[in-house]
Amino acid sequence: MLSTYLGQLVSAVREEETLYECRHCGVSIEDDVTTCPTCGSTEVAQYELE
C-alpha cells in the first residue's frame, strides 16, 4: 500500500505543464518522443506553461 501511495505521489509531481509540438506539421507529441510520429521531423518545439 505504501508503494502505491508513493507511486501516485511521484506521478503527480512529474505532471509538468509542458507541451511538445512538431514545428513542421504542428501535431502534439508525447513528452518522451523526440521525433514527430506524423511527419518524422525531429524539430519538436517545447512550450513550458507557467
Interacting residue ranges for Zn ion, rule: CB under 5 A: 22, 24-25, 36, 38-39, 41
Nearest to 22 by CA among 37, 32, 36: 36
Looking at residue 28, the DSSP 8-state letter turns out to be B
State which residue, 19 or 25, has the beta carbon closest to Zn ion.
Answer: 25
Closest separation between CB of residue 37 and Zn ion, Å? 8
State which residue, 8 or 18, has the beta carbon closest to Zn ion.
Answer: 18
Give the whole-angstrom CA distance, residue 8 versus residue 40.
33
Closest separation between CB of residue 28 and Zn ion, Å? 10
